[in-house]
Amino acid sequence: MSPGTVARSEARDYYEVLGVEPSASSEALRAAFRAAVLRHHPDRAPSSEIATRRTSILNRAWAELRDPVRRLHYDHALEGGRAETLDWPLDEGEAARATRHRRRTRFEPGEASPWHQPQWRSVAGFRIPADIFLAGPAAQHRWIVEHHIAGEDWRTHSERYWLRYAAAHYAERGQVDDWLGTLERIVELGAPWAEIVDLGLREAYLAGGEELRGAMVIAGIGERYDPDTPQRRWADRELRVLLGEYRDAHVRRGPAERRAENAELLLNFLESMDVEPSFTDYRSAIVAHRRAGHEGRAAELVERVVDAPVIDPGRWFSLVQVLTEAGQLDRASALLAEIARGEHPEALNPRRVAGPWRRIAAARNRLGRARRREDRARR
């Protein structure tokens, strides 16, 4: 285009931009887009400026029509004469085409609308052939996977219906990384809370052995909502379940050194998220460090537990158990005697603690077994 020449353009709907009819199949639409991109590539066009603008317009039209749901909405708007058009730049000397009126809201009896296509059906957001639809769910699933999922990279998709279907497909095939990636992509796109709940995030992270990764994702979801809301309580509950599963799988089981390492990892992870470790977290960490021979670290954690304020009366019996498991038998015995003498009256209130005297008897039995083990170890 020579300097000083006024840029000319004409309005075209998305189908006219790609050079296809509204009744074109998704395969024909894709082929037309690729051919148009090659035809208007800046390296092949006489004006690179116009070619660049045309390529941008082609990408915009393709982004709208490649999504079956968005294409359906556009088709309805096109039929009603409300569809958006794009300014298609014209080359110097190129004549504008005759105006094409797409609006047709009335058809003769028996005349098929170009936008009503009974040969297609919608399943899970995908448009599939009617004969495949009638063949049943199994055939529908195979066709969708073959034509829409296989060979696609989930990182390039932002359609949540596509990501949900792909996530289920990856889960069936055991592709854990892709499965978790698609779920996190849905969360990243700002899916509503009800959809997030239905994703089954907890089950996915547990199946993949990625409990801490899942805890970070769910904690991020919880931060979107105010405290004391159902959404926040759901996120806190799911977070605790995932951390509890990690503790049971990696801190309470496995080689001693590995258990101690995982215990420290769990405590540090909770600290980084500003989440107070639960009593069970501390107890499991103390046992893990004692099994690994880290008596100093175990004693440090015991002091942290003992110094914490006792809010639940049943916690007094738990403290006795922790001291017993930590090998501090004299200290455990003294605390148990304080409870039995009534120095902590709330611990003996049967309305607040179920079976307090039965708990005292069980604690005495544990202490007795621990002392016998200690005596055998000294001999």
pLDDT value, residue 115 = 56
Query: In whole angstroms, what separates CA 345 from the centre of its chain?
Result: 47
What pLDDT, in 10s, does the model give residues 132-145? 999 999 999 999 99
Q: Is the pLDDT of residue 203 over 70?
A: yes
Q: What is the DSSP letter of 154?
A: G
| pLDDT per residue as tens digits for the range 73-84 | 888 888 878 889
Domains of the chain (ranges; CATH) run: 8-91 (1.10.287.110), 309-379 (no CATH)
- The proportion of the chain whose per-residue pLDDT surpasses 90, expressed as a percent, equals 53
CA-nearest of 348, 331, 352, 326 to 339 is: 348
Q: Are 120 and 130 in contact (CB under 8 A)?
A: yes
* Closest to 85 in 3D by CA, of 69, 96, 97, 74: 74
- Give the pLDDT of residue 325: 86
Give the Cα separation of 60 and 12 in Å (integer).
13
Structure tokens at 231: 């959404």
Q: What does the mean pLDDT of the chain come to?
A: 87
190: exposed, middle or buried (Cβ count in 10 Å: 0-12, 13-18, 19+): exposed
For residue 254, pLDDT over 80 is answered with: yes
pLDDT at 139: 95
What is the enclosing helix (H) or strand (E) of 178?
Answer: helix 176-188
Residue 202: its pLDDT value, please? 94
Beta bridge partners of 129: 120
Average pLDDT over residues 240-264: 93
Confidence class for position 276, pLDDT limits 50, 70, 90: confident
**Predicted structure pTM score:** 0.63
* Between residues 307 and 113, the one the model is more confident about: 307
Kindly indicate the confidence band of residue 3, based on its pLDDT and cuts at 50, 70 and 90. low
Q: Would you call 122 helix, strand, or coil by DSSP? A: strand
Is a pLDDT exceeding 80 seen at residue 44? no
Please report the sign of the dihedral spanned by the C-alpha atoms of residue 52, residue 57, residue 61, residue 64.
Answer: positive
Give yes or no for residue 94 having a pLDDT over 60: yes
DSSP, collapsed to helix, strand or coil, labels residue 331 as helix
Number of H helices, E strands in the chain: 18, 4
- pLDDT of amino acid 108: 56
Tokens of 223: 């931060």
